[in-house]
Chains A and B, each alone.
Chain A
Amino acid sequence: MQIIDVAPWLCWILPAIGALAALALNKVNRKAMNITVLSTTLLSCIMTLLMVPSLLNNSSIDHALFWFQIAGAQVNAGLLIDALSIIVANVVSFLSLLIMIYSTKYMAEDPSIARFWFFMSLFLSSMLLLVLADNFILMFIGWKLVSLCSFGLIGYYYRDEKEHWIGGPAPFPFQKPSRNGLKALLMTSFGDTALLAGIIILYLYSHTFNFMELIQTAGTWLPAMAATPGILALTCVLLLLGPLAKSAQFPFHEWLPEAMSGPTPVSALIHAATMVKAGVYLIARMLPIFFFAAWVAAPAYPEALTFFIMAGAIGAFTAFLGGTQAMVAKELKKVLAYSTMSAIGYMVLALGISGLSAGSLVAGTSSSIFFLINHGIFKVVLFLCAGVVIHSAGSIYLDHMNLSTKRMRFTLVSMWIGGLALMGVFPLSGFWSKDNVLIACLESGQYAIFAVAMISVVLTAFYVCRMMGLAFHTGTPDGNIHRDEEFRDRKLAEDHAHGEEGHWIEILPYGLLAALTVVIGLVGPLVSEFLSSAFSTYYANMGLEVAAETHTGFLGLSGLGLEVLVAAVSIVMILIGAVPAYFLYIKPTSNPSNLLPQTGIRRTLYNFLWNRWYINAFYNKVFVEPSIWVSKRVQRYIEDPLNQAINGGIPEGFKWLSRGLSRIQTGKLRINMLYLLVTIVIALIVLWLGGFI
């Protein structure tokens, strides 16, 4: 047996064991519990690393075992090890390991840490299962389990103590962790429901759940599916809704900002670096099927383009939407949450691009995955730093922070590196992946998407500078910044030495990752080249004959010229966003709140963004409130009347009947005798009428 046969299985089974061990050891020994959990995570990380050599071989391996049978078929459980799954699995397990290490310090004083470990380990296990599964059903198990873990971790502070509320500040409503957990679970479930429908329809035509078989046999089952118009498009939409919900893309993005009520490592791991990428992964996983249908199949099925158009449009829109909301957010973690939405929008749009023209398959996918890797790393840096910052400041609001740049030097530097990478500043990792996405947009001729993506760059630059400025650089403590009189949790602030640097166990993970961001940035083109070659082999193995670089490029430019052009434009865009933010927040020349008069267009715009484009309110008005309204009335206006009519009315009717019938029972002899006579008479009449006598 070779290591590659075992490693994929072990890498997700080990954390599952770790999860159970956390529960088992909780009452026994906390130290042993911590060590067990960390070592299973470490082992799992090693196992994923062991898979990397086969990435270099460009091989794709499918380990399938018999799982169970259904009518007329059987379902196998198997793991698929190919370029896509290996890369994502490594990102997941590596980031998890570092975050788990960070958590040992960050969560050290939490009394119910066993629950934390359980969900974190289970999350890692199910995320790896999701990524490695070779079929939809097994994947779906991991898929739902990560949602469940997310639910458990967002609502980790299930008692809803006031210090764990998010939202606000005061005049604005707060949200409680338990409710946020439920919201995340339900919104993603909605998408999952659609995804399941898509999977089922796909199965009914293809008779397989296996990803590879789906692609390999696509030529045979697609005609039957396309025979009924609309089915293919419907399937595209249904299949996309699941990943969109999971990745917090419009219109399902509303759960992510509120998911920040979990502990910060959770936000870092699940709601920024990994779980929300599951959607991107799945879109990438399903993409070849629809690419085949749209471009490779002999009579092309244009309906399959729905998949790409929808992904591209929604990705671009979400990138913009997230960016605008991040610009006005007051909570540090919410800024990061919106930026996550926005960044994932980038990845999704890149995947959309890859199928919008015949030639951008590799460019789109590889840039998207490159972005995924980079974003995972620098977003973890940002979140982990944010955790330390929030602890240190004793508040979740940027307005309250204004931390010392001297005492928190490591955090400050790491966070700036992460932030600049997010902005896409040369030569950090984010620069390369963002430029790749932009180039792919241009190369495939999607100028509208390119434009939206460029605007997002401006927004990103603005909100990153604003965030950093408010957190670290804004003038004197009681300077010109508006400060809430009601410091939401004064006690927490007093307990902590204000502006304390994090513990070294906390600094180590994000310091390491910040360094990695720089390193990847330095070798960016090489990584990018490697990914593109890996994916072109990957697609070639699937038989998706990628047309050689036939596109004409943009303005006659191609290759290096195009790259330079895009890089230049994007640097300009960054400056457009960063410069105003610099003068507003980092070296403020005036109070930024002066920009916001009480009325007028700017206030309206601000309110619009602050209220998240009123989308949340819209959902509440259209879905939540009517549902509650209906459910409150079903009992009163349907169930109770029915109950009264049937369970009350029918017995009443019989009682009434019984009372009536009792009247003939007079007990008087003469009347009884009369019945006898009447019987005879009636019988005779009936006989006479019947013609018998």
Chain B
Amino acid sequence: MDTAIPSILLQAVIVPLIGALLCAFLGKYLKRNTGWIAAAATIYSTALLAYVAVQLWTQGGQLVETYTWGTIVFQLDFGFLADGLSIPVALAMSIICTAMTVYSINYMDHRIEHLYGKDKPGTYALYYALFLLFPVGLIGGALSTNTIELFLFLESGLFPFYILMDVFGYKDRHRIAMMSFVWTQIGAAVLLIGAVIAGVKAGSFAITSLSVLSGTDLGLLACGLILVGILMKMGTFGFHVWLPLVHAEHPTSIAAVLATIVGFGTYMIARLLFQNMFASFQLFSLPLMILAVVTMFYGAYLTMGQDDVKRLFACSTIGQTAYSILGLASMNAMGVEGGVFYFISHILGKAILFSVAGILVTQTGTRSIKEMGGLAGKMPLTATLCLLGAMILSAIPPLSGFQAEWILFTGVFMQGLTGTAYMILAILALFATFLTAVYTFWPAIRIFFGPTPAGMEKTKEAPLTMTAPLVALAVISVLIGLFPDIIMHFLTSVF
């Protein structure tokens, strides 16, 4: 397919980077309005990706842009590939980043004032400049054509992540910043080991040449390493201990992006392992499914016990990403489509929920659910958004979560029909989804329903820059839920 705009994919990746530089230099003068530069950059990227998506829809095929990067060790093309898998993922992540930049404008104002007082204009520059590296990393990562490039984009968000946590995080932020860095770095390292083994032995780091090794012993090793690396980044059970802490203590605008980064592993598994190393990957079906089901239950019970509104949604990410893993572990097209779809849906929901947590923290000044109650009357829009987020997560139509979930589970049950163990896992997993409704609606009710405690009577609705982006995300989710073809048209073209 062709587009009228030259280097469109490169632009989509580079523009936020340029925005980051602008923010860095202008942040001092623009102060809180720096956010609008960041928003402009992400909106531009989103618009480009949306344009590519429309073109891809009408013309089919795929769009490849190749730039020669280097001959380090092997020929490395710095390529961008827009196809049915990468475009919806990239677009969704870009939309989340856009929404979160707009959301940040008021939220970070509050946060910075809280931490550093009013007269620290430099902190705005720091925040937005680093924040914009996330869209660069995420969009670039989704469009990458070789593993090293993918790794590069993945890692590009890591350092900003560390600094943002360290500077703007909540309690115990220094230790947790370090912890998150080390954990994700280890995950990335394991991933890189697998990728390099595959790359060196296959003679090329191109993602498509992973298939050379597929099915061999070495392929199994590489596949296993890549998988473990991704699972560490996704915080599945056993590798999850960093996730609740890191997720909860981040500024909420970044926590939403973190959910995206965590879920991005879904895309990587689909792209690297399912598409290109299927013969090796399919051997992991059963262990991966067991792991996913364990993680789902563990995540659910962990989440249910939380009283801290930020930690609550942080813990729920553990179980939610496991859904996607479950879909991928089912080793069939429906499962993978469902897994990727669920990932997209989940990040929409999680962005809403985390931002709601942020709104609650800024408007009420507490994080404890025990101190909240009856806020629906004070902030009806926020309450509605929270319930919509809960609906996305617990798969209640017409929001996107439902369509994603049944497609995912169709895949899982398809695998379930191949053996009793799979069938038991599939049914267990489905009942784990029931717990999602418990841990999303129950807290929502404790926060927003019931009598209002004495201290909360003066709580006001959040400003429009904080709620409007979330409304937009909810609308997108409803649209996807009503017209799943928006996603499925793309996904079915590749799987």
Interface residue ranges, A against B (CB under 8 Å): 67-72, 137, 140-141, 144-145, 147-148, 151, 155, 158-161, 176, 178-179, 181-182, 185-186, 189-190, 193-194, 196-197, 199-201, 203-204, 228, 231, 627-628, 630-635, 638-639, 642-643, 646-647
B163 in contact (CB, < 8 A): no
- In the complex formed, the residue of B with least CB distance to A71 is B333
Of the candidates A178, A203, A627, A642, the one whose C-beta lies within 8 Å of that of B241 is A642
Pairwise interchain contact A159-B391, C-beta atoms closer than 8 A: no
Of the candidates A155, A176, A647, the one whose C-beta lies within 8 Å of that of B245 is A647
Interface residue ranges, B against A (CB under 8 Å): 179, 241-242, 244-245, 298, 301-306, 332-334, 337, 374, 376-377, 391, 394, 396-398, 402-403, 405-407, 409-411, 413-414, 417, 426-427, 430-431, 433-434, 437-438, 441-442, 445, 448-452, 483-485, 488-489, 492, 495
7 A-B pairs closest in CB distance: A631-B304, A71-B333, A178-B449, A68-B485, A631-B305, A141-B397, A158-B449
Pairwise interchain contact B442-A182, C-beta atoms closer than 8 A: yes
Min C-beta distance of A41 to chain B, whole Å: 20
**If the complex has contacts A70-B334, A197-B430, A635-B302, are A159 and B377 also in contact, measured as CB distance less than 8 A?**
yes
Q: Please list 15 pairs of residues, one from A and one from B, whose beta carbons are closer than 8 Å in the complex, sorted by A's number.
A: A67-B483, A71-B492, A144-B397, A159-B377, A161-B451, A186-B441, A189-B394, A193-B431, A196-B405, A196-B430, A199-B406, A628-B304, A631-B302, A632-B305, A647-B179
Of the candidates A144, A228, A231, A638, the one whose C-beta lies within 8 Å of that of B402 is A144
Pairwise interchain contact A197-B427, C-beta atoms closer than 8 A: yes
Docked Cα-Cα span, A186 to B391, in Å, equals 12
Pairwise interchain contact A141-B398, C-beta atoms closer than 8 A: yes
Of the candidates B241, B303, B306, the one whose C-beta lies within 8 Å of that of A647 is B241
Pairwise interchain contact A148-B396, C-beta atoms closer than 8 A: yes
- In the complex formed, the residue of B with least CB distance to A196 is B406
- In the complex formed, the residue of B with least CB distance to A66 is B485
Docked Cα-Cα span, A634 to B244, in Å, equals 13
Pairwise interchain contact B306-A635, C-beta atoms closer than 8 A: yes
- In the complex formed, the residue of B with least CB distance to A192 is B434
Most chain B beta-carbon contacts within 10 A, residue among A137, A197, A638: A197
**Interface class of chain B by DSSP:** helix
Min C-beta distance of A420 to chain B, whole Å: 39
Q: Which chain A residues lie closer than 8 Å to B337 at the CB level?
A: 70-71
Other A-B contacts than A196-B406, A197-B430, 8 sampled, CB-CB below 8 A, are A69-B489, A147-B396, A155-B449, A158-B374, A159-B374, A189-B437, A635-B302, A635-B305
Min C-beta distance of A235 to chain B, whole Å: 11
Of the candidates B301, B397, B414, B485, the one whose C-beta lies within 8 Å of that of A627 is B301
Q: Which chain B residues lie closer than 8 Å to A633 at the CB level?
A: 305
Pairwise interchain contact A200-B406, C-beta atoms closer than 8 A: yes
Pairwise interchain contact A190-B434, C-beta atoms closer than 8 A: yes
Q: Which chain A residues lie closer than 8 Å to B305 at the CB level?
A: 631-635
**If the complex has contacts A144-B402, A189-B434, A628-B304, are A72 and B241 also in contact, measured as CB distance less than 8 A?**
no
Q: Which chain A residues lie closer than 8 Å to B413 at the CB level?
A: 197, 200-201, 204
Min C-beta distance of B53 to chain A, whole Å: 16
Docked Cα-Cα span, A598 to B332, in Å, equals 64
Pairwise interchain contact A204-B410, C-beta atoms closer than 8 A: yes
Docked Cα-Cα span, A199 to B407, in Å, equals 11
Q: Which chain A residues lie closer than 8 Å to B441 at the CB level?
A: 151, 182, 185-186
Most chain A beta-carbon contacts within 10 A, residue among B303, B398, B409, B442: B398
Pairwise interchain contact B396-A70, C-beta atoms closer than 8 A: no
Q: Which chain B residues lie closer than 8 Å to A151 at the CB level?
A: 441
Of the candidates B244, B332, B409, the one whose C-beta lies within 8 Å of that of A197 is B409
Q: Which chain B residues lie closer than 8 Å to A638 at the CB level?
A: 298, 302
- In the complex formed, the residue of B with least CB distance to A643 is B241
Docked Cα-Cα span, A199 to B430, in Å, equals 12
Docked Cα-Cα span, A633 to B301, in Å, equals 9
Pairwise interchain contact B434-A155, C-beta atoms closer than 8 A: no
Q: Which chain A residues lie closer than 8 Å to B374 at the CB level?
A: 158-160
Docked Cα-Cα span, A178 to B483, in Å, equals 32
- In the complex formed, the residue of B with least CB distance to A191 is B434
**If the complex has contacts A178-B449, A197-B413, A639-B244, are A141 and B489 also in contact, measured as CB distance less than 8 A?**
no
Docked Cα-Cα span, A70 to B487, in Å, equals 10
Of the candidates A68, A71, A148, the one whose C-beta lies within 8 Å of that of B484 is A68
Pairwise interchain contact A158-B430, C-beta atoms closer than 8 A: no
Docked Cα-Cα span, A678 to B245, in Å, equals 47
Pairwise interchain contact A200-B410, C-beta atoms closer than 8 A: yes
Min C-beta distance of A598 to chain B, whole Å: 37
Docked Cα-Cα span, A148 to B401, in Å, equals 14
Min C-beta distance of B111 to chain A, whole Å: 24
Pairwise interchain contact A643-B245, C-beta atoms closer than 8 A: yes
Docked Cα-Cα span, A67 to B452, in Å, equals 44
Min C-beta distance of A7 to chain B, whole Å: 21
Min C-beta distance of B314 to chain A, whole Å: 12
- In the complex formed, the residue of A with least CB distance to B239 is A646
Pairwise interchain contact A69-B492, C-beta atoms closer than 8 A: yes
- In the complex formed, the residue of B with least CB distance to A141 is B397
Most chain B beta-carbon contacts within 10 A, residue among A69, A193, A638: A193
Docked Cα-Cα span, A642 to B237, in Å, equals 11
Docked Cα-Cα span, A155 to B391, in Å, equals 16
Min C-beta distance of B256 to chain A, whole Å: 22
